[in-house]
Amino acid sequence: MEEIYAKFVSQKISKTRWRPLPPGSLQTAETFATGSWDNEENYISLWSIGDFGNLDSDGGFEGDHQLLCDIRHHGDVMDLQFFDQERIVAASSTGCVTVFLHHPNNQTLSVNQQWTTAHYHTGPGSPSYSSAPCTGVVCNNPEIVTVGEDGRINLFRADHKEAVRTIDNADSSTLHAVTFLRTPEILTVNSIGQLKIWDFRQQGNEPSQILSLTGDRVPLHCVDRHPNQQHVVATGGQDGMLSIWDVRQGTMPVSLLKAHEAEMWEVHFHPSNPEHLFTCSEDGSLWHWDASTDVPEKSSLFHQEMSSHYAAQAALKLLSSSNLPAWASRGGRSSTFLSHSISNQANVHQSVISSWLSTDPAKDRIEITSLLPSRSLSVNTLDVLGPCLVCGTDAEAIYVTRHLFS
């Protein structure tokens, strides 16, 4: 990880997303979008890390990202997703959801579609109308699902003017993030530590399933689903804890991993290499979790002597920053659950058991690497695609690396 490029951009970055590659393409990622927050004027910007003809041939700019185009965005950009190759969906703190269209010919962005009052506390039309920030958006062409501080879930369809489906008061607290589980099911996380599964086939305003961190009610800020094993879900909480859930069983997380010192803002499984996971946090750190189980001693007798303590030490050695992850499955609460999940897995006879669900630290070590050199202000967002990673910070810098696994 020597080649990580930083660029200061004079705006606090709230979201970064790689543009998806066309199916079957062999290219690596080269365009990403960013959204800013807390500025007098906020922008959606498109950047390219591709090579430019006009730059000098000695490759002095290799890896450096250049601005392609940008467009004003009303309110803070709370979330950002690529709808397809050309369209970007942005969630605004004004409760507005906007689809921007990129015109590659003249490098401009324009507003393609807008739902101005997607999220609100007091309805539009009422004199005391007050909007509510839209906090999360997820796309699965042609559907767009948004969630907000008003606890509302909207299902939009591109080219439909009105919401296809709205669940008012879906949550009594703020919904922080949303992701598709398997169509037509979505999964939301909220500010009282709950994970809810919603099935759009069902009528009514009740979730089909609620999973929760019992006790502390620690707010969950982000969620991502394992790209291949759709029942495996990772969430990040206000205390910086990483939770891995198996939504098929139980109502509690399979494992709780102590990670960052403050809010975990985003968690992402690597889309094509899901043994790798990436998290970023308010404490200014960006971590790469490697659970690939190609440890040779795994099949030998040796691993039995290896205590979890040893495994933890091995993980710590790789960690350059001073704060260390304590490898705790938290207290007795989760350890009772631990045996439950293992026995369950034995019954299921799954050929592939995700290494994220295995809770034996001696067997499956997770190596953690801190990707950013020095820590200061919050890393709000990250995205991974192929060997490329991009992240954005409150210190108004965008970091890009194109060699994640080298």
Residues that bind other proteins (CB under 8 A): 8-12, 37-40, 76, 78, 93, 121-122, 130, 132-133, 135, 149-151, 169, 171-174, 190-194, 196, 210, 212, 214-217, 238, 262-263, 282, 374, 376-378, 394-397
Q: Which DSSP letter does residue 109 get?
A: E
Least distance (Å) between residue 276 CB and other proteins: 27
Q: Tell me which H or E stretch contains 38.
A: none
Sheet bearing 286-290, strands edge to edge:
264-269, 276-281, 286-290, 367-370
Q: Which is nearer to other proteins, 272 or 320 (CB)?
A: 320
Q: Which is nearer to other proteins, 6 or 362 (CB)?
A: 6
Contact assessment for residue 48 and residue 31, using Cβ atoms and an 8 Å cutoff: yes
Buried b (16+ CB within 10 A) or exposed e, 8-33: ebebbbbbbbbbbbeeeeeeebbbbb
Q: Which is nearer to other proteins, 8 or 302 (CB)?
A: 8
Nearest alpha carbon to residue 101 among 117, 78, 82: 82
Q: Which is nearer to other proteins, 130 or 336 (CB)?
A: 130
Residue 130 neighbours by CB under 8 Å, 6+ apart:
120, 121, 122
Q: Which is nearer to other proteins, 37 or 289 (CB)?
A: 37
Neighbour-count burial of 90, counting CB atoms closer than 10 A to its CB (0-12 exposed, 13-18 middle, 19+ buried):
buried
Least distance (Å) between residue 222 CB and other proteins: 12
Least distance (Å) between residue 214 CB and other proteins: 7
Q: Which is nearer to other proteins, 339 or 376 (CB)?
A: 376
Q: Which is nearer to other proteins, 140 or 212 (CB)?
A: 212
Residue 351 neighbours by CB under 8 Å, 6+ apart:
none
Least distance (Å) between residue 402 CB and other proteins: 22
Q: Which is nearer to other proteins, 226 or 330 (CB)?
A: 330
Least distance (Å) between residue 63 CB and other proteins: 17
Least distance (Å) between residue 44 CB and other proteins: 16
Least distance (Å) between residue 192 CB and other proteins: 6
Nearest alpha carbon to residue 282 among 235, 233, 239: 239
SS3 label, residue 157: strand
Least distance (Å) between residue 81 CB and other proteins: 17
Q: Give the Cα separation of 322 and 51 in Å (integer).
A: 36
Contact assessment for residue 188 and residue 155, using Cβ atoms and an 8 Å cutoff: no
